[in-house]
Amino acid sequence: MTIVTLGELHAHLGGHLRGDANIALTSVASLERAGPDQLGFLTSAKYLPQARASHAGALIVPEALAETLPQPCLAVANPHVAFARAAALLHDDAAVRGEGIHAAAMVAEDAFIGLDVHVDAGAVIGPGAVIGARSRIGALAVIGAGARIGEDCLLHAHSTVQHGCIVGDRVVLHPGSVIGADGFGLAWDGDHWVKVPQVGRVVIGNDVEVGANTTIDRGALDDTIIEDGVKLDNLIQIAHNCRIGRHTAIAGCTGIAGSTRIGAYCQIGGAAMIVGHIEICDRVIVSGGSLVAKDIREPGTYTSVLPLMPHRDWLRNAAHVRHLDHLAQRIRHLESFAKNASQPIEPAEK
Amino acid sequence: MTIVTLGELHAHLGGHLRGDANIALTSVASLERAGPDQLGFLTSAKYLPQARASHAGALIVPEALAETLPQPCLAVANPHVAFARAAALLHDDAAVRGEGIHAAAMVAEDAFIGLDVHVDAGAVIGPGAVIGARSRIGALAVIGAGARIGEDCLLHAHSTVQHGCIVGDRVVLHPGSVIGADGFGLAWDGDHWVKVPQVGRVVIGNDVEVGANTTIDRGALDDTIIEDGVKLDNLIQIAHNCRIGRHTAIAGCTGIAGSTRIGAYCQIGGAAMIVGHIEICDRVIVSGGSLVAKDIREPGTYTSVLPLMPHRDWLRNAAHVRHLDHLAQRIRHLESFAKNASQPIEPAEK
Amino acid sequence: MTIVTLGELHAHLGGHLRGDANIALTSVASLERAGPDQLGFLTSAKYLPQARASHAGALIVPEALAETLPQPCLAVANPHVAFARAAALLHDDAAVRGEGIHAAAMVAEDAFIGLDVHVDAGAVIGPGAVIGARSRIGALAVIGAGARIGEDCLLHAHSTVQHGCIVGDRVVLHPGSVIGADGFGLAWDGDHWVKVPQVGRVVIGNDVEVGANTTIDRGALDDTIIEDGVKLDNLIQIAHNCRIGRHTAIAGCTGIAGSTRIGAYCQIGGAAMIVGHIEICDRVIVSGGSLVAKDIREPGTYTSVLPLMPHRDWLRNAAHVRHLDHLAQRIRHLESFAKNASQPIEPAEK
C-alpha cells in the first residue's frame, strides 16, 4: 500500500493547498464511496452537493471551488488531469506484476531483453525480438520474431505483436489486442480470391494505448502507422496502411478501412465506420455511430445517425426514406402549380 | 456416451408422455437429421410437416400437438426450455474436460483452488486468486491477481479475468472474452491525453454468459456491474461503470459506452450502439443496428435504422436526407400559399 | 533471403517479359519505396507517373503499359494477381516459423500430428485432435478435443478451434480468431433465460482465411458452414447455423445473426449488419455500414446508410426523419388542394 500526504500531492501536482497538509491518503475513490483515507475530485460546481456530503479525506477541486468545501482541498487549474496523476501515484498498475523472466515464459535465445524487464508466465518472445528496459510483458502475451517493443511498455495478458512490428515507449496493449495481423489484401482471379502477401509492418509511436481485442493490421507493402499519443478503445479495427495522427482518440467498436489517414487531435465516437482510401483532417470530431464515406477537409463535428424512435413510429416513418426522391418531386410539382396560380409565390430554391 | 430413456426424460422434465417410455436416446438433433436414437423438438404447428417426416426416436412437443405425431412424444408447456434441459442432460460440455490441475498449468502458490476444480494446460492463475468448487478453467485462460471466480463456472480457452475482478457462480466465459481491462479514461491536458488510472473492478453476478471476444471494462473508480442472469453474445463492448440489469440479453457486436445503465429483462439487438451516461429502463427492446443516444423511460421496442435499398435508389433518395429541413420549409411555404388561396385549406400542424 | 530473377518470375507467372531477365529481386515494395532489388507493380495508367519515377528493379504491369516504362517489366493480364503470386514467392510467411513440435507445446498423447507439422511454443492440442500434413500451429494456439485441421494450414498465435470443429486445407486463422464457441442459444423460462446447449460444429472448407479476433459460432444442432474460398476480415461475428457461400468476402466489423445464408461470390462491406434467418442470393454486394433486414433475391449492390453531415446541419435535418410520415401527409393534403383548385394538376402517384 502506498501512502501519500496531501502535502506531498501538492508538491507533486502544484496548485493551491487549503487545509491539513498531513492528511494521509492511500487510494482514490468516487465522492459517494470515498472514506477518510481516500482522495476524491470534482470538475465543476455541478458536483458540489456530492462533494459536501463526501467522506473523502481530501479533494482535488477547480480553483474557484476550494473555499466552498469543508474537506482539505488541492485547488488546481485542471482537476481531471491532476486527479489522474494522483491516482497513478497511489495505484500501482496491478495487472502485470513480478520481476525478471518467469520460469514458465518462453523466450527465444537470441531475443534481446532490456534491463528490469518483467516477462510473465507463459509469455512467448520470438527470435530476434527486442524488449526495451522496464517493459512488462503479461501472461501469455506473444511477441513475434524480430518485433521491437520500446521502454516502459505494459503488454497485458494475451496481447499479440506479430513479427517485425515496432512499438514505441510507454505503450499499453490491453488483453487480446492484435498488432500486425495480415491486412485484408485480396486479388480477384476470375473465380476465386488470391491472397496478397502483407509485407509491411505496424509502427506504433510513444504513449499509445490500444484497447482490449482491438486489431491493427500490418501494411500491405508500406507500414500502418499509429502516431504518438493515440488512444484506442476496445474492439476497434484499423486496416492495413492506415495512418492515425498524434493524440487522436478513438472510441470502441469503430472500424477504419484500408489506407485511410486520420489527422491529429481527432475524436472518433464509438461504433463509427470510416471507409478506406479517404483523408480526415486534424481536429475532426465524428459522432458515435456515424459512417464517414468521403474526405473531411474542415475541422468540426460530423454526424450521420438516424434518431431512435418507438418501433411503431419507425414503421410509419422509415418507409418514406425509400421514397424521398419521389416526395421531393411532388413538392417541386406543387411549387410549379403554385407559381402558375393566381397568387404568386417564390419558393426558395437550393 | 450418455443414454437416457424417454421415461427418464419425462421424470426429469415433467409434462405428458405419449408412446414408448423405453426409447433410448443418446443425443439431440434437428428434425431433418435426427436418427432413431436422437431427440428432436418443435415449438409450433408450423414445423408439423418436418416433424412427421423426421426419423427422430422421440420428440418434445407443445401440449396441443402430441396427438398429431407418429413418434413417441413428451408434451410440455415450454418445448424450447424442456429441449434445452434434455440437451444439457445428454450432452456434456466437451470444451473443457479433464480433472485436477494440468501439469502445464501455472498456478500461483497462494491462489486458492476449490474442490474438484479443473485447470487445463497452460492456464495462468495469479497470486491470491480464488477459484470456486467445481469450476473448470480452460487452456491458456488467465485469472489475474486477487480475482475471484465462483463455483461451477466454465472459463473457456483464452478467456481473461483481470486482477481483482469478481465472477459469480455458474458463469460461462467464452474464448477470448476479456473481463476487467482498463476503461477508456482520459483527461485532456492541453496538447495530449493523460491516462486516468482505472481502479474499479468488474463484478459479475450468477448465471451470466459472456460471448467470445466480448470485452467488459473495469470501473474507473466504482465498479462495472453485470447482474444475475445477463447473457452477452460475441464481440460486445461494455465500457467502464456500466450496469447491466438482471436477465438482460444483448446480441453480438453491440457497444455500450461508459456509465450507462440498462435495466432488467431488456433485449438489445445485434450491432446496437448505446451512448454513455444514459439510462434505459426495464423491459426495453432495442432493434438490431439501432443507436440509442438518450434515456429510454418507457418499456417497448425502439428502432433507428435506415431501410436497405438497391444502391441506385439509395443514390437518388439519400441526398434528400441532407435537405429535409429545406424540404419541410418548402412544404410550409406551400401551405401558407394554400391558406391564402381562394380555396381554404387547414393543413395539420404538428 | 530468397532471390528470384525476373526471368524466373516470368517462367512462374507467364506474361510477356521486356528488359533484363537477369535482374535479381529479393522482395516486393511500393513504387515510392522500392529499391533496385525490389519488385513493384501497377494496375492502371493512373500510376504511370509514380512508376516512371520508381527505383524498383522491375515492375509487373498491365499488358498495355509495358512499352511506356523504363524499368524491366513483366506484362500480364492481371497484374494484381501476378504480383500477389510473386510476393508469395519472395516472402515466406514469417509469422509462424520453426520445425517440429516445440518443447513447450502441449500436445495430447492421442492427438494425430501429420508429417512436417510445426507446433509452436505454448500451443495446446487436445485429445483426439488431428493436424494435417505441413500445417503450422502458432504460439499459444488452442485446438480442442477431436477438432480436425487440414493440410498446409496456418493457425496464427492465439487462434482457437473449439472441440469437434472441422477446418479444411490451406486455411489461415489469424490471431485471436475463435472457431466454434457456443452460439447464442437461449430459451425464455418465464423469468430467466435457459442456455440451449450448442451441439453442432463449425465446418470450414478449403482456402478460407479468418481475420484477427473474428468469431464463428458452432451450430445449435446442425453445423455452421463456411464454404471454400471464403475470406473474412477482422472482428467479424458469424452466428450459429449461418452458411457463407464459396468465395464470398466479408470486410471487418460485420455481424451476421443466426441461421442466415449468404450466397457465393458476395462482397459484404465493413461494419455491415445482417439479421438472422434470412437468405442473400449469389453475387450480392452490400455497402459498408448497411443493415440487411430481409432476404435479397436479386444480385446487385444494396445500401442503407445515412450520409454524413456537419453536426449543425444534422441537428436541423435529422429531426424531420421522425416526422416523415406527417410530412408525406401534408404533401398529400396540398395535392388534393391543388387538384381541387381552379388550375388542375396531376401529381404523380406512386
Residue B173: pLDDT band by 50, 70, 90 thresholds? Answer: very high
Contact C321 A326 (CB under 8 A): no
The closest of C233, C250, C261, C237 to C285, measured between CA atoms, is C250
What are B131's three cell numbers? 477459484
A306, B291 contact by CB (below 8 A): yes
**HSE value, Cβ hemisphere, 13 Å, CA-based, for A345:** 26
Does A95 have pLDDT greater than 80?
no
Alpha carbon distance B247, A299 (integer Å): 43
Amino acid identity of residue B112, one-letter, is: F
Q: What is the pLDDT of residues A34-91, one digit of tens each?
A: 999 999 999 999 999 999 999 999 999 999 998 889 999 999 999 999 999 999 999 9
Q: What is the percentage of chain A residues whose pLDDT exceeds 70?
A: 97
**Distance from A133 to chain C by nearest Cα, in Å?**
24
Q: What is the pLDDT of residues A23-48, one digit of tens each?
A: 999 999 999 999 999 999 999 999 99
Fold of the domain built from segment(s) C106-302: UDP N-Acetylglucosamine Acyltransferase; domain 1 (2.160.10)
The closest of C90, C112, C107 to C13, measured between CA atoms, is C90
> What pLDDT does residue B212 have?
98
Buried b (16+ CB within 10 A) or exposed e, C35-66: eebbbbbbeeeebeeebeebebbbbbbbeebb
> What pLDDT does residue C350 have?
44
Mean pLDDT across C226-237: 98
Q: What is the mean pLDDT of chain B?
A: 94
* Residues from chain B contacting residue C137 (CB–CB below 8 Å): none
Helix, coil or strand: residue A321: helix
**Distance from C309 to chain A by nearest Cα, in Å?**
5
Does A93 have pLDDT greater than 90?
no
Global pTM reads 0.96
**HSE value, Cβ hemisphere, 13 Å, CA-based, for C271:** 32
Query: Which stretch of A168-177, C40-49, C95-104 has the lowest confidence by average pLDDT?
Result: C95-104
**Distance from A229 to chain B by nearest Cα, in Å?**
7
C290, C304 contact by CB (below 8 A): yes
Buried b (16+ CB within 10 A) or exposed e, B294-315: eebeeeebbbbbbbbbebebbe
Q: Is the ipTM of this complex over 0.90?
A: yes
* Residues from chain C contacting residue B318 (CB–CB below 8 Å): 303, 305-307
* Residues from chain C contacting residue B78 (CB–CB below 8 Å): 187, 189
C309, C291 contact by CB (below 8 A): no
CATH C-level class of A4-90: alpha beta
Reduce the secondary structure of A259-275 to three states and give it as a string.
CCEECCCCEECCCCEEC
Determine the Cα angle at C175 with ends B122 and C105, to 5°: 30
Contacts 24+ apart (CB under 8 A), C220-226: C220/C183, C220/C185, C220/C196, C220/C258, C221/B28, C221/B29, C221/B30, C221/B33, C222/B30, C222/B32, C222/B33, C224/C183, C224/C200, C226/C202
Helix, coil or strand: residue B311: helix
B280, B262 contact by CB (below 8 A): yes
CATH topology identical between A4-90 and A106-302: no
Q: What is the pLDDT of residues B6-35, one digit of tens each?
A: 999 999 999 999 999 999 999 999 999 999
Catalytic residue among B102, B163, B240, B320: B240
C182, C165 contact by CB (below 8 A): no
A182, C174 contact by CB (below 8 A): yes
Catalytic residue among C240, C247, C277, C320: C240
* Residues from chain A contacting residue B313 (CB–CB below 8 Å): 322, 325
Tell the residue number behind the cell numbers 388534393, with chain if given: C336
How many CB pairs below 8 Å do chains A and B form together?
250
Q: What is the pLDDT of residues A156-208, one digit of tens each?
A: 999 999 999 999 999 999 999 999 999 999 999 999 999 999 999 999 999 99
Alpha carbon distance A160, C157 (integer Å): 8
Does B117 have pLDDT greater than 80?
yes
The closest of C192, C205, C272, C279 to C242, measured between CA atoms, is C279
Task: Name the residue among B175, B251, B331 with its Cβ closest to that of C327.
Answer: B331
Alpha carbon distance C259, C277 (integer Å): 5
* Angle, helices A324-340/B311-321, rounded to nearest 10 degrees: 60
Q: Where are the domains of chain C?
A: 4-90, 106-302, 311-340
> What pLDDT does residue B98 have?
85
> What pLDDT does residue A344 have?
46
**Helix H or strand E encompassing C75:** strand C73-76
Backbone angles phi, psi at C301, to 5 degrees: -105, 135
DSSP line for A211-248: -TT-EEEPPSSS-EEE-TT-EE-SS-EE-TT-EE-TT-
Reduce the secondary structure of C200-245 to three states and give it as a string.
CCEEECCCCEECCCCEEECCCCCCEEECCCCEECCCCEECCCCEEC
The closest of B286, B328, B325, B321 to B304, measured between CA atoms, is B286
Does A347 have pLDDT greater than 80?
no
Active-site annotation holds for C240: yes
Chain B touching partners, 3 or more CB pairs below 8 A: A, C
Contacts 24+ apart (CB under 8 A), A63-66: A63/A15, A63/A16, A66/A16, A66/A18
